[in-house]
Amino acid sequence: MAYRAPVEEYKFIYDHVVGFDQVRATDQFGEASADLTDAILGEAGKLCDEVLAPLQRNGDLDPAQLENGVVRTSKGFAGGYQAIAEGGWVGMAATPDFGGMGLPMTVASSVNEMMAGACLSLQLNPLMTQGQIEALEHHASDEIKDVYLPKLVSGEWCGTMNLTEAQAGSDVGALSSKAIENGDGSFAVTGQKIFISWGDNDFSGNVCHLVLARLPDGPNGTKGISLFLVPKYMPDAEGNPGVANSLKVVSLEDKMGLHGSPTAVMQFDGATGWMIGAPHNGMKAMFTMMNNARLGVGGEGIGAAEGAYQHAVSYALDRKQGRSPIEGGTGAIIDHADVRRMLTSMKAEIFAARSIALSCAVAIDMGRASGGPDWAARAAFLTPIAKAHGTDIGNEVSYMGVQVHGGMGFIEETGAAQYCRDVRVTAIYEGTNGIQAMDLVARKLMDGGEAAFRLLEEVEETAEAARLDHPDLAEPLWSAAETMRETVELFVAQPDLNERFAGAVPFLRAFARVLGAHAHLKAAVAAGDGPRVALAAFYIKRLLPEGLAAMSHAREGASGLYALSADDLSAQ
């Protein structure tokens, strides 16, 4: 079965789970009617099904190459990117002032996710550009906006994000890249960056790098970092690509997956750049891009899960093996209980993770449209959950997809293993999932848990309202929400951050389980009966209990983690 974008699923979630009607009711997004968003999702679905999905295997089998300093992209990727750009999909959420559609982040997130499901390695390219667009919209000077945003929004130029250095890793404050003022408003940027997704390509007119570097008077640590826009080609007086800048691709990483996405080591040798935002305040501007990217990366995980799931279902429907254990069975492996367990788990996990991500997107839209601090706080709280859980589920579902295939899943020609290899890095980049969890239990609880408690109150209200018609689903969800509330209270009262960090990952997992069950219960209530109720029952009765175990794990603190010394751990 070829990939099919789950357009109807997004529509259902909009209408019955995440409250997208609130977004449509705002002045800013009042034009995002059901007819318009249905049409947009439909057209994006066609792009994914007919243009991008056929490129999925090409990216793996014909990877990007660096030849004499020139990046050569996978066969068909140039045409695929051109279709994305010409359709306006790069600038979906960008302001109309520079040619964007001005669509809600909820819609843009849905389109990005389905593109990731179709061809993750190519979808990474516009995702990076979208993050750069948002950073420039918020922090760049008018002169920079006028030159760069129209080109980036149209997809004529591409954008990247340059944070990581070999000696620094996640400790961005340890970077060594330098920037020296040229005296004409520009800066000479020097340094080397690693892990730069889509650091170059052979199909866009220019590649614009956002680079973190330190001014000569910049203090140590993240508070001394500034952000610079460094283009591959210097724009001329008309804003067109001119002379080459002093930068180059040193090499492309030999990666586990995402072979179609060139991940570059970038060298800047006094390259001309322009400061974005205030001096020594680069992390603020970069975080605008990173937060955009974190939701997007969560969507990549979910998209990859969707692709892996569809691949596995297709195989399970066709593969004949053994005697069917059910009356009227087809004889295919989909009749077998363990295969059903895996496929149902995959479907239930995808729905829950997708609903969490779109709930985060709705909060972002409402925060932008209303300026309400509660919406902004909700978006901030949900972002690490959407990123970490979405990518965890991407990894877990793609793993199960290989298992459904059995021995053939280990054979590359089936394509099942590609989903595992491609999605694996999503749990690492844009802040590892451990870092996301630490952020959740530290910064995101600095409000005393208010944002968390408001979410849990909504979960309990939904459960209370559903007790009459779905008591077997409502009661365990209400109970889990109460236990989660107690866990939040315990974490808020714990002043030692390392004690919180010890349980951060299971804390995030537990919260995601409660939110996922909430989404499933809302779907069951909306449907009344049928497959959605059965899927909700599966999630709440079989997967939600894992959240309770995760809460117990989270409460254990740090002492048990240090009961074994470093020598104990390394002993043979």
Is residue 515 a contact partner of residue 544, using CB atoms and an 8 Å limit?
A: no
Instruction: Show the tokens assigned to 50.
Output: 């007919």
CA-CA distance, 141 to 146, in Å (whole number)?
9
Count Cα atoms within 13 angstroms, Cβ side, for 533: 12
DSSP string, 41-56: HHHHHHHIIIIIGGGH
Q: Given the residues 113, 430, 475, 499, select the one marked as catalytic.
A: 430
Q: What is the pLDDT along the chain (572 residues), one digit of tens a residue?
A: 589 999 999 999 999 999 999 999 999 999 999 999 999 999 999 999 999 999 999 999 999 999 999 999 999 999 999 999 999 999 999 999 999 999 999 999 999 999 999 999 999 999 999 999 999 999 999 999 999 999 999 999 999 999 888 877 666 667 889 999 999 999 999 999 999 999 999 999 999 999 999 999 988 877 889 999 999 999 998 889 999 999 999 999 999 999 999 999 999 999 999 999 999 988 877 777 677 789 999 999 999 999 999 999 999 999 998 888 998 888 999 999 999 999 999 999 999 999 999 999 999 999 999 988 999 999 999 999 999 999 999 999 999 999 999 999 999 999 999 999 999 999 998 889 999 999 999 999 999 999 999 999 999 999 999 999 999 999 999 999 999 999 999 999 999 999 999 999 999 999 999 999 999 999 999 999 999 999 999 999 999 999 999 999 999 999 999 999 999 999 98
- The C-alpha angle 522, 363, 138, rounded to 5 degrees, equals 160
- pTM for the full model? 0.96
**Known catalytic residue: 430?**
yes
Q: What is the pLDDT of residue 128?
A: 94
Question: Which contacts (CB < 8 Å, 24+ apart) does range 368-377 have?
Answer: 368/28, 368/105, 369/23, 369/26, 369/27, 369/28, 369/29, 370/26, 374/451, 374/454, 377/447, 377/450, 377/451
Domains of the chain: 7-142 (1.10.540.10), 158-282 (2.40.110.20), 432-562 (no CATH)
Q: Which residue has the tokens 């866990």?
A: 487
Q: What is the pLDDT of residue 222?
A: 75
Phi first, then psi: what are they for 326, rounded to 5°? -120, 150
Is residue 305 a contact partner of residue 397, using CB atoms and an 8 Å limit?
A: yes
CA-CA distance, 361 to 306, in Å (whole number)?
19
The dihedral built from the CA positions of residue 102, 104, 110 and 116, taken in this order, carries a sign that is positive
Element of type H or E holding 242: strand 241-244
CA-CA distance, 319 to 405, in Å (whole number)?
9
Q: Is 258 left (phi over 0), alpha (psi -120 to 50) or beta?
A: left
CA-CA distance, 44 to 55, in Å (whole number)?
16
- The C-alpha angle 133, 149, 10, rounded to 5 degrees, equals 45
CA-CA distance, 544 to 521, in Å (whole number)?
12
- The C-alpha angle 170, 437, 401, rounded to 5 degrees, equals 95
Is residue 334 a contact partner of residue 340, using CB atoms and an 8 Å limit?
A: yes
Q: What is the pLDDT of residue 170?
A: 64
CA-CA distance, 58 to 423, in Å (whole number)?
16
Contact partners, residue 109, CB within 8 Å, separation at least 6: 295, 296, 299, 357, 358, 361
CA-CA distance, 36 to 31, in Å (whole number)?
8
Report, in this order, helix, strand and coil percent for the chain, each rounded to 5.
60, 15, 25
Instruction: Show the tokens assigned to 160.
Output: 């990247």
For residue 267, give the nearest of 251, 256, 253, 279 by alpha carbon: 251
Burial, 403: exposed, middle or buried (Cβ in 10 Å; 0-12, 13-18, 19+)?
Answer: middle
Query: CA of 157: how far to CAs of 85, 128, 206, in Å?
Result: 10, 11, 5
Contact partners, residue 519, CB within 8 Å, separation at least 6: 13, 17, 18, 351, 352, 355, 356, 359
CA-CA distance, 515 to 390, in Å (whole number)?
12
Taking the mean position of all CA atoms in its chain, how far away is CA 555?
28
Amino acid at 211: V
